[in-house]
Structure 1
Amino acid sequence: MEQHTNRFPISHVIGFLLSLVLTFGAAWIALMTSLPANVIMWIIGGLAILQAAIQLLLFMHMREGEDKIVNSVNMIYAAFLVFVIVAGSIWVLTSGHSH
């Protein structure tokens, strides 16, 4: 039988505030700086990865549960699949123009 407690979800509030800061930070960098476009894209991509990690840890409870190792392995596999799909798509789309 699960025990439910009526405590304030402070981790959700912290995660929400951090997500807002990262989102507005990315918007500010994109709109208010005169950095080169490729630098802006790298910064926004880094902030997006950081925000995804915050979402996984604070909202999706990756640190909780009995199968922490299974959760970690699943996340590593999902990250590998994302890398293969994105890198493969970029490779196919850019190499097609050279022929």
Structure 2
Amino acid sequence: MSQHTKTTGFPISHVMGFLMSLVLTFGAVFVALKTSLPLKTIIWVIGTLAVIQAAMQLYMFMHMNEGEDGKAQLINIVYAFFIAAVTVFGTVWVMSFGM
């Protein structure tokens, strides 16, 4: 039986994750407001930065790399994406067709 030891030092990984989130956010703001790129390109860049930020936050803040059973965490993530997709597409469907 192994015993896990928990360190209570300074959470440098959380600070680094926060700073990386700020960099990605300000990068998206810069692309949106200070560049003369076509609208489609701006939307793709912002979307890409958003996906990168979401993945980084799952890894750094939600501790997706921790735990003994990575399968349960993967199932939870897939389920969350399914619920998000059903919510978004269901809302668009209802608002578009009034059903």
TM above 0.5, yes or no, is yes
Counterpart mapping for 1:8-87 below 5 A? 8-87=10-89
Unpaired runs of at least 5, structure 2:
none
Question: What is the CA–CA distance in structure 1 between the aligned matches of 2:46 and 2:95, rounded to whole Å?
Answer: 22
Query: Which amino acid counterpart does residue 77 of structure 1 have in structure 2?
Result: Y
Question: What is the CA–CA distance in structure 1 between the aligned matches of 2:66 and 2:91, rounded to whole Å?
Answer: 34
Count of aligned residue pairs for this structure pair: 96
Q: Hey, which of these two has a bigger chunk of helix by percent?
A: 1
Moved more, 81-90 or 71-80: 81-90
Instruction: Name the Cα RMSD after superposition.
Output: 2.1
Unpaired runs of at least 5, structure 1:
none
Moved more, 2-11 or 16-25: 2-11
Question: What is the CA–CA distance in structure 1 between the aligned matches of 2:72 and 2:21, rounded to whole Å?
Answer: 26
Percent identical among aligned pairs is 55
Question: What is the CA–CA distance in structure 1 between the aligned matches of 2:38 and 2:88, rounded to whole Å?
Answer: 23
Query: Which amino acid counterpart does residue 59 of structure 1 have in structure 2?
Result: F
- TM-score normalized by structure 1? 0.79
